[in-house]
């Protein structure tokens, strides 16, 4: 199969899958998700993603109908059914199925999985970014399905010929519409703290760990839009783009002052990804 879906024990190609209209995702977006890449039929950083998935569900009081080991086994089982081992692996849980009512239904949660072909993005390509005021709610640490602000921000970036939107609350930079953003200043990585205003990205965690391994100082404190615009480098990370550089923000050139440092980081992170997903 080229694509594959799963819903509460049923498997099929994505365009043939159907869900009940009364799944609470339809009315409330009532659920959480996680995602990562697979290469050579190996899912990258799967344990970290599953841990975050269960944490997000717990914060919303959703009881996942599987153990962590069962989720891991199910994802790997589905991956083995695919024609290619290079996939975007996505999974979510919704609170359950019941007639529309804001209060929780007394029904079991619903498990969804989706696989589609995907490759790691080319880190040689530099990104064009735009900024936008962060008007999302104050629980961005939960990987919830309620993504309308991020959807609108992503579309706004695309309509301007850009790759991603950087959110800020006042002067404080938080994160991007669907990734984390960091800066290099004075040879140090600065990244927003993992509080309730950002999603604690797995790629972010790997970037921080790699900096420490390479002797690059790390500062996990808030930084400003002005610091971003004047940084030595601006870095964007996500599960599909491990460490990509920005070339412009709001049409103004940024970065380009620490190519050797970022090159070392990119190569080390790429080596880590390949080592974890080699046959």
State the Cα–Cα distance between residues 114 and 35, nearest whole angstrom.
Answer: 9
Angle between helices 46-59 and 68-79 (to 10 degrees): 130
Q: How far apart are CA 54 and CA 69, in angstroms?
A: 12
CB atoms under 10 Å from CB of 243, counted, come to 22
- Give CA–CA dist 12/112, Å, rounded: 12
CA–CA dist 263, 38 (Å, integer)? 24
Q: Do the Cβ atoms of 189 and 216 come closer than 8 Å?
A: yes
**Among this protein's residues, is 72 annotated catalytic?**
no
Catalytic residue among 81, 116, 121, 143: 143
Residues 6+ apart with CB under 8 A from 229: 249, 252, 254
The residues that are catalytic are 143
């Amino acid at each position: 199969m080229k694509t594959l879906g799963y819903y509460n024990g049923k498997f099929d190609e994505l365009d043939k899958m159907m869900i009940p209209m009364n799944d609470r995702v339809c009315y409330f977006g009532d659920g959480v998700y996680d995602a990562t890449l697979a290469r050579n039929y190996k899912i990258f950083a799967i344990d970290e993603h599953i841990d975050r998935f269960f944490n997000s569900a717990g914060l919303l009081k959703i009881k996942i109908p599987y153990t962590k080991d069962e989720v891991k086994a199910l994802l790997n089982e589905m991956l083995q059914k695919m024609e290619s081992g290079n996939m975007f692996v996505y999974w979510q849980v919704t609170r359950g199925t019941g007639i529309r009512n804001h209060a929780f239904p007394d029904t079991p949660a619903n498990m969804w999985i989706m696989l589609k072909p995907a490759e790691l993005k080319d880190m040689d390509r530099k990104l064009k970014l735009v900024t936008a005021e962060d008007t999302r709610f104050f629980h961005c640490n939960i990987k919830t399905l309620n993504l309308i602000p991020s959807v609108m921000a992503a579309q706004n970036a695309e309509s301007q010929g850009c790759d991603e939107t950087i959110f800020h609350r006042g002067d404080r930079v938080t994160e991007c519409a669907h990734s984390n953003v960091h800066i290099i200043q004075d040879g140090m990585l600065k990244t927003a703290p993992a509080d309730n205003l950002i999603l604690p990205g797995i790629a972010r965690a790997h970037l921080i760990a790699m900096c420490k391994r390479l002797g690059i100082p790390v500062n996990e404190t808030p930084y400003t839009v002005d610091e971003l615009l004047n940084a030595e480098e601006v870095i964007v990370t996500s599960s599909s783009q491990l460490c990509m550089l920005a070339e412009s923000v709001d049409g103004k050139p940024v970065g380009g002052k620490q190519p050797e440092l970022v090159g070392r980081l990119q190569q080390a992170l790429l080596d880590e990804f390949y080592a974890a997903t080699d046959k």
